[in-house]
Amino acid sequence: MARAHPVVQLTLMRLRELSREPGTLFWIFGFPVLISIALGLAFRNTGPETVAVGVLPGVPAAVTGALTAGGVLVKPLDEAAARSELRAGRVAVVLVPPAPGAGDALGYRYDPMRPEARLGRAVVDDVLQRAAGRRDARAVRDEIVREPGARYIDFLTPGLIGMNLMSGSMWGIGWVLVNMRVRKLLKRLVAAPMRRRHLFYGQAIARLIMIPVELGVILIFARLAFDVRMAGSWLALVLVSVTGSACFAGMAILVASRAQNSETMSGLMNLVMLPMFVLSGVFFSSSHFPEAMQPAVNALPLTALCNGLRAVIIDGAGVAGIAGSLAVMGVWGAISFVVGLRLFRWG
């Protein structure tokens, strides 16, 4: 057999290891699909939900009758049960009988910090006031819209892709390099006349080959199961995915540059990845964080990747629309790669 180029052999080594390891195949294919299914079902849009209300003993039967007639689910509860149901969010509001000496004023017990509790209070109040004879003072009408890409699963899909691309680079390059160091394989390779950069080229090419697979699994599944559509330019999607992977590949090399054992490495990986899982808007929008944190949150590479992917997949952005994201990831990737190479320990 003819001698192949070292970069080809190093790429093949990585791809062979990957494809012969059942565990990694699960993390690439099975895991994102399972998360899509679980979260897609949990947050599927089933139309306006029925409001559930707890009713303490002593509330007049006329009130509960009016609520039931108004489409509200009524649960008779004692004091202790009411407390726990309210805490668990199984009822939005608890109705409290009129206090002695306070006339016939009903009590609404709810936590205004919970959106569904505020909604429940408004619905319950509306039903009771109408039953008591209130008439609308102003004529209104509803205009219902069904905006594509507005469902939770539409929001989640690009986030999952971003998370998967980050994990793919961090584990697939960082973890693998540390493993090679632990096994003295790095040392053995540099004892042979291998060009050191060829090892990194091999890792990078193997990563590039995996990107379409990682993207494809989630996109195809989301399309088939939840009819999630890709709205923007495919070129922009490829660009943002490749830049994101390269950025995290650079960070993986930096994180892996000194670690001498896998325990240290998993600690360092968690240190880098966990804050971004929380802050970067994988599962919910990062705009929920306070205004003061926004500049820091937006400077994170995973935020840039998720924003870029959402811009392309949901908002239909082209290449121009993701320039900012590309720049943020480019800076992170380039700096970590250069620093990582300087610090990199082969032995």
Partner 1 sequence: MQAAQLEPAVSCRGLRKIYDPRGRWWGGGPGGGAGAAVVAVDGLDLGIRRGECFGLLGPNGAGKTTTVEILEGILAPSAGEVELLGMSWARDEVRLRERIGVALQETRFPERLSVTEVLNLFRSFYPRSRPVAALLADVELTEKRDAWVGKLSGGQRQRLAIACALVGEPDILFLDEPTTGLDPQSRRQLWDLVLRFRGAGGTVVLTTHYMEEAERLCDRVAIIDHGRIIEEGSPAELIRGLGAQHVVEFALEGAGGAGAGLAESDLLALPAVTGARLAGDGACALTVSEPARALPALIALVSGRGAALARLETRHATLEDVFVTLTGRHLRDG
Residues that bind partner 1 (CB under 8 A): 1, 3-6, 8-10, 12-13, 16-17, 20-21, 183-185, 187-188, 190-194, 258-261, 263-264, 345-347
For partner 1, the closer of residues 11 and 36 by Cβ is 11
Q: In whole angstroms, how far apart are CA 306 and each of 12, 231, 280?
A: 30, 15, 7
Neighbours of 330 (CB within 10 A): 16
Quick one: which of 254, 232, 234, 230 has its CA closest to 242? 234
Question: Radius of gyration of the chain from Cα atoms?
Answer: 27
For partner 1, the closer of residues 118 and 198 by Cβ is 198
What's the closest the beta carbon of residue 22 comes to partner 1, in angstroms?
10
CA distance linking residue 206 with residue 201, whole number of Å? 9
For residue 135, give the 3-state DSSP assignment. coil
What's the closest the beta carbon of residue 94 comes to partner 1, in angstroms?
54
For partner 1, the closer of residues 134 and 188 by Cβ is 188
What's the closest the beta carbon of residue 342 comes to partner 1, in angstroms?
13
What's the closest the beta carbon of residue 201 comes to partner 1, in angstroms?
13
For partner 1, the closer of residues 256 and 309 by Cβ is 256
For partner 1, the closer of residues 82 and 268 by Cβ is 268
Instruction: State the first-to-last Cα distance of the chain, in angstroms, to the nearest integer.
Output: 32
What's the closest the beta carbon of residue 31 comes to partner 1, in angstroms?
21
DSSP 8-state class, residue 108:
E
For partner 1, the closer of residues 194 and 230 by Cβ is 194
What's the closest the beta carbon of residue 119 comes to partner 1, in angstroms?
51
Q: How far is CA 68 from the centre of its chain?
A: 38
CA distance linking residue 173 with residue 188, whole number of Å? 18
Q: How far is CA 136 from the centre of its chain?
A: 42
